[in-house]
Amino acid sequence: MSNSLYSMLDVHSPANGVQQIQLHRPEALNALTTAMLGELALALDEAEANESVKVVVLTGSARVFAAGADVKEMAERDMVGILKDPRQQSWQSISRFPKPLIAAINGYCLGGGCELAMHADILIAGTDAKFGQPEINLGIMPGAGGTQRLVRAVGKSLAMQMVLTGQPINALQAKEAGLISEITQPELTLTRAMEVASQIAKKSPLALRLAKESILKGMETDLSTGLRFERHAFTVLAGTKDREEGIAAFLEKRPAKFTGQ
């Protein structure tokens, strides 16, 4: 079922706790306009508030995940315009999304599209996927994490090469470099992402949230701070009903029923 609140997204009601958000601007290769990013931020805010949503799968079309920002729109902004860029707020909303976010990627995943995909916690891509930051070809550079998240995912040398030449890499290279976790046959990318999402959706939402936060925290801080954060989060979970249930179910050899309490 699609939610008609959105004009550039197809948002499907959660099945088994998994909500699917599909970028849908076929006429423009899913180029991320400000309005589209705004819709996405809104959709994620709603998914955050909706307790029946445990996990979100973000996807594009068979040919393209998202081919970048909307260049025409960008051309109209001068320095002051970019300083007041409303996109920034949307990006922050997206990056603050606390539930697991999985990107299912087929075809082109370039520029802002690649940056968006890197906001996901798990990236699963079809054999035909292409990842790149071609901003340099326009005399600009990545502006939504492309120089930061990419280097953390693939290492300095490949990140530099991608950002400085603008040349994309294919799915195999992306897998080898650690940008994505799995390669699938293109027709099965979404199926596989949904499969992983449904596995995750069965876990305790509190544990998922803190585990996600802990991993992300660790990526932006030093090891001892990260370890301290992890220990605090681990301790917090000790106060939840889900932990009792999880451990009891394990000892009784039955599936756990988590309630998010």
Partner 1 sequence: MSFQHILYSVDSGVALLSLNRPKSLNSFNEAMHLEVREAFKQIKSDKQVRVLVLTGEGRGFCAGQDLSDRNVDPTADAPDLGISIEKFYNPLIKAIQALPMPVICAVNGVAAGAGANLPLACDLIIAARSAKFIQAFCKIGLIPDSGGTWFLPRLVGMAKAKEMALLGEPVSADAALEMGLVNRVVDDELLRQEALTLAQHLATQPTKGLAYIKRALNQTFDHGLEEQLLLERDLQRLAGQTQDYREGVAAFMAKRTPEFKGE
Beta pairing, strands 130-132 & 182-184? unpaired
Which of 104, 159 has the CB closer to partner 1?
104
C-beta of 168: minimal distance to partner 1 in Å? 15
**Segment interacting with partner 1 (CB under 8 A) among 107-115, 137-145, 180-188, 207-215:** 180-188
Rule CB under 8 A: is residue 188 a binding residue for partner 1?
A: yes
> What is the 3-class SS of 199-228, one letter each residue?
HHHCCCHHHHHHHHHHHHHHHCCCHHHHHH
Rule CB under 8 A: is residue 216 a binding residue for partner 1?
A: no
Residue from 150, 83, 139 nearest 116 by CA: 150
Rule CB under 8 A: is residue 185 a binding residue for partner 1?
A: yes
**Catalytic amino acids?**
69, 112, 115, 135
Q: Is the dihedral of CA 65, 71, 73, 74 positive or negative?
A: positive
Rule CB under 8 A: is residue 20 a binding residue for partner 1?
A: no
Rule CB under 8 A: is residue 106 a binding residue for partner 1?
A: no
C-beta of 26: minimal distance to partner 1 in Å? 16
Rule CB under 8 A: is residue 165 a binding residue for partner 1?
A: no
Residue from 52, 40, 56, 48 nearest 100 by CA: 56
Beta pairing, strands 169-170 & 130-132? antiparallel
C-beta of 255: minimal distance to partner 1 in Å? 25
Give the SS3 label for residue 105: strand
Rule CB under 8 A: is residue 184 a binding residue for partner 1?
A: yes
Q: Do the beta carbons of residue 233 and residue 213 sit within 8 Å?
A: yes
Q: Which letter does DSSP use for residue 134 in this model?
A: G
Which of 161, 185 has the CB closer to partner 1?
185
Rule CB under 8 A: is residue 187 a binding residue for partner 1?
A: yes
C-beta of 176: minimal distance to partner 1 in Å? 13
- Chain contacts with partner 1 (rule: CB under 8 A): 184-185, 187-188, 191
